[in-house]
Amino acid sequence: MKIRGKKNRPRVYIFKSNKHIYAHVIDDHNKKILTTSSSLSLEIKKQTNEFANCKVAKLIGKNIAIKLKELGISQIIFDRGHNTYHGQIKELAEAARSEGIKF
């Protein structure tokens, strides 16, 4: 089953490689990426020079939540892909929730 966003609730897709974590906010209705954050982003690299770990995942979660607030979005659909809700994925989600994003 594929996860799809709605008009008022875009989908946040999480991709995790061996070195990096990526979070993309996707508007499935218009088929566009609204914003993105990753361990390669300049905002994250300024705060830490580590690769994918739980600390970096928290920073990405907070960063994507701030970007969502700037776009006026407070509710999302969380798409973790094929990753289990554990470790880095869990930290990213909890950091976004702590910033006020609901899913």
- Residue 27 belongs to some domain of the structure: yes
**CATH assignment of the domain containing 25:** 3.30.420.100
Looking from the CA of 49 toward its CB, the CA atoms found within 13 Å total: 0
Q: What are the average pLDDT values for consecutive 10-residue runs of the chain, which has 103 residues?
A: 82 95 95 95 92 94 97 95 94 97 95
d(C-alpha 101, C-alpha 75), whole Å = 6
User: 52: domain range?
Assistant: 11-98
- Residue 45 belongs to some domain of the structure: yes
State the pLDDT at residue 47: 93
Q: CB burial class (10 A; 0-12, 13-18, 19+) of residue 31? A: exposed
State the pLDDT at residue 7: 78
State the pLDDT at residue 1: 61
- Residue 67 belongs to some domain of the structure: yes
- DSSP state, residue 102: B
Number of domains into which the chain is organized: 1
State the pLDDT at residue 2: 79
pTM: 0.92
